[in-house]
């Protein structure tokens, strides 16, 4: 391309971007002007405070104005819909990885691209989807579930949200290929064959995500502990509120080591004194990372346990079988998650004493997990009638997938099994059972349940939603089972190719992965199609409100 052509192209693109940015700026400013005029006419000097008061306690549908308002529910909508956007981006990366493994040799995409896809898939799914959806449901559901006395930290929440979005976007832009655990010395090699030329940007992006998430966590904890209605004692809170409390305390008490570690890693780009010199060891960083890295995978589980309890009680019309043991087991999960991080490093030479400690601690995690599962089954057992709506199907499938994935996890906690299986697809199968079956499934269940509120009284197509469920559940089971069996036979994970003897497991996993992708497209089509119809119900969902009319719908037709 000649210089002239390049200049013409650059100016055309630059002008288009400038026009777009100005249009967004114009719309935002005129909206905020009209909002403050209305507030002034009502005698308020703080426009945001006026609108927060106007919106208080009402169901909030999705609209562009969620970016103008900063009440908790608007922030919640931003988090929920952004996390679903990132779910689709990261999911597309995941499906592309599956498809590229059609051939044992990396012929469809190059190994370097595969590594980038894998890094992006993992990081976006964890930080942008799992944490984002948990925070989003917390922001969205808690104000009505706990009948907040005040809602006054909207500006801070908004800043936290934008830092989080900026971090996620910069992470994609960095095209990093360092894996989600950022180990040096790989992450210090700024080459396409190393961790990616712009890996320093990925480190900054991670730090931004952390700052945003930490701010939001503090605000949500403040909302629960200080702002909830006086007549709701801690012992009467919904299990979901407890789950959010435990998750966020866990987050706040374990993300500092990695935030500090990321700062040291960034310093190592300029003067590598921390992790790669003769007097230090990369294992130092691994310890800093996994001290946070294990709690973060529980962040993708504990809030969703809370949602599962709430959804089960709504559709089986019974209270939780044992409220105390439910809350207690979530609290125990929080404490244990801080103690088992070493089982990610069982083969790194921590020494037999530490290995014994971490192995034992990992086995003890079975107790709260089993308490949770049996509590849910007990709730279902006691119910006189269970309504198998789509959200309920997703939740029941989540229990099943959690049991299977959990058993695989307990097997991995055994040091001798871990030694042979930790580098294989067995691990991938273990956590995809839980992440696809439970994290994705319960997010979808809650989304369907809240759909009438999001869409201002419309209902989703029950038939398409059922298809979405069955496709997702089948694809997830097929993919994870193939990985678990192939992995047990020694199929190495996280590589762009495989030995031809594993062809059958890879092929069935590819089919499973593509099926999951198709299922999410059905979901997207359902959302778009159902929104076009006229509102047919009231926008009060059964997760937040108790009205006469909403008890029978559960969000669907």
Partner 1 sequence: MASNKGGVTFALIIVLLVSVAFGYILTSPTGGGLQPSKNPTKYTQYVNLGADAAGWEYNYNTSLRNPVLNVVSGTKVVFNITEMDGAPHNLYIAYDGKYTSSLFQQLVVDQKSSPKKIEGSTNYQILSTAQITQTIGHKTQGNYPFFKDGIYTYWCSIHYATMVGLLIVNSTSSTSTSFVALHAYHGEGPSHVYNQSTYSTHISNVLVTLERAIKTVE
Contacting positions for partner 1 (CB under 8 A): 61-64, 81, 84-85, 88-89, 92-93, 96, 109-110, 112-113, 116-117, 120, 172-173, 175, 185, 189-193, 196-197, 270-273, 276-279, 455-456, 458, 524-525, 527-534
DSSP letter assigned to residue 226: T
Single out the residue of 308, 241, 245, 298 nearest to residue 444, CA to CA: 308
For 348, counting Cβ atoms within 10 Å of its Cβ (0-12 exposed, 13-18 middle, 19+ buried), the class is middle
Question: CA angle, 28 as apex, 25 and 32 as ends, to 5°?
Answer: 135
What is the CA 354 to chain-centroid distance, rounded? 30
d(CA 198, CA 219): 32
Burial 35-45 (b: 16+ CB within 10 A, else e): bbeebeeeebe
Residue 197, phi then psi, degrees to nearest 5: -60, -35
Single out the residue of 438, 308, 439 nearest to residue 372, CA to CA: 308
Single out the residue of 444, 456, 442 nearest to residue 526, CA to CA: 444
Residue 494 beta carbon to partner 1: minimum distance, rounded to whole angstroms = 17
d(CA 133, CA 130): 5
Please give the full DSSP string across 302-325, using - where no structure is assigned.
HHHHHHHHHHHHHHHTS--TTHHH
Question: CA angle, 234 as apex, 231 and 238 as ends, to 5°?
Answer: 90
d(CA 276, CA 265): 10
Q: How far apart are the first and last CA of the chain?
A: 56
Residue 394 beta carbon to partner 1: minimum distance, rounded to whole angstroms = 19
Residue 118 beta carbon to partner 1: minimum distance, rounded to whole angstroms = 11
If the CB atoms of residues 65 and 322 are measured against partner 1, the closer one turns out to be: 65
If the CB atoms of residues 169 and 508 are measured against partner 1, the closer one turns out to be: 169
If the CB atoms of residues 91 and 405 are measured against partner 1, the closer one turns out to be: 91
């Amino acid at each position: 391309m000649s210089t002239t052509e390049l200049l013409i192209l650059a100016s055309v693109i630059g002008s288009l971007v400038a026009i777009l940015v100005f249009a967004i700026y114009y719309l935002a400013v005129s909206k905020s002007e009209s909002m403050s005029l209305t507030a002034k006419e009502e005698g308020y000097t703080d426009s945001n405070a006026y609108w927060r008061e106007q919106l208080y306690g009402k169901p909030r549908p999705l609209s562009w104005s969620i970016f103008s308002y900063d009440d908790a529910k608007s922030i919640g909508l931003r988090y929920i819909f952004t996390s679903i956007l990132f779910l689709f981006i990261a999911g597309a990366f995941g499906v592309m990885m599956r498809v590229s493994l059609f051939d044992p040799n990396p012929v469809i995409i190059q190994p370097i691209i595969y590594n980038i896809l894998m890094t992006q898939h993992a990081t976006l799914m964890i930080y942008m989807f799992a944490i984002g959806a948990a925070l989003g449901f917390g922001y969205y559901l808690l104000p009505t579930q706990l009948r907040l006395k005040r809602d006054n930290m909207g500006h801070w929440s908004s800043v936290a949200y934008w830092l989080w979005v900026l971090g996620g976007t910069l992470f994609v832009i960095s095209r990093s290929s360092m894996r989600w655990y950022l180990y040096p010395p790989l992450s210090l090699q700024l080459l396409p064959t190393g961790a990616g030329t712009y890996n320093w940007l990925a480190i900054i992006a991670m730090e931004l995500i952390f700052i945003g998430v930490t701010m939001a966590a503090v605000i949500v904890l403040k909302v629960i502990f200080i702002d909830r209605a006086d007549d709701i004692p801690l012992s009467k809170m919904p299990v979901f509120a407890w789950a959010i409390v435990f998750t966020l305390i866990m987050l706040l008490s374990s993300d500092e080591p990695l935030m500090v570690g990321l700062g040291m890693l960034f310093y190592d780009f300029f003067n590598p004194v921390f992790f790669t010199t003769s007097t230090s060891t990369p294992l130092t960083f691994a310890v800093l990372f996994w001290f946070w890295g294990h709690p973060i995978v529980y962040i993708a589980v504990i809030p969703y346990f809370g949602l599962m309890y709430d959804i089960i009680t709504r559709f089986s019309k019974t209270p939780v079988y044992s409220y105390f043991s439910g809350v207690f087991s979530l609290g125990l999960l929080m404490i244990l998650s801080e103690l088992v991080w070493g089982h990610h490093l069982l083969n790194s030479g921590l020494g037999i004493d530490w290995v014994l400690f971490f192995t034992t601690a990992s086995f003890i995690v079975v107790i709260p997990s089993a308490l949770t599962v049996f509590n849910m089954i007990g709730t279902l057992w006691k119910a006189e009638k269970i309504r198998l709506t789509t959200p309920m199907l997703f939740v029941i499938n989540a229990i099943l997938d959690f049991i299977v994935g959990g058993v695989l996890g307990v097997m991995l906690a055994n040091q001798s099994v871990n030694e042979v299986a930790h580098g294989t697809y067995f691990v991938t199968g273990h956590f995809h059972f839980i992440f696809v079956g439970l994290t994705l499934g319960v997010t979808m269940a809650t989304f369907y349940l809240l759909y009438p509120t999001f869409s201002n009284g419309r209902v989703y197509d029950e038939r398409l939603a059922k298809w979405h469920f069955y496709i997702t559940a089948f694809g997830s089971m097929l993919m994870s089972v193939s990985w678990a069996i192939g992995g047990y036979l020694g199929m190495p994970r996280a590589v762009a190719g495989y030995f031809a003897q594993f062809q059958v497991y890879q092929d069935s996993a590819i089919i499973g992965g593509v099926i999951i992708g198709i299922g999410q497209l059905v979901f997207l089509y359902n959302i778009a199609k159902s929104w076009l119809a006229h509102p047919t119900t009231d926008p009060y969902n059964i997760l937040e409100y108790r009205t006469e009319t909403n008890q029978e719908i559960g969000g669907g037709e």
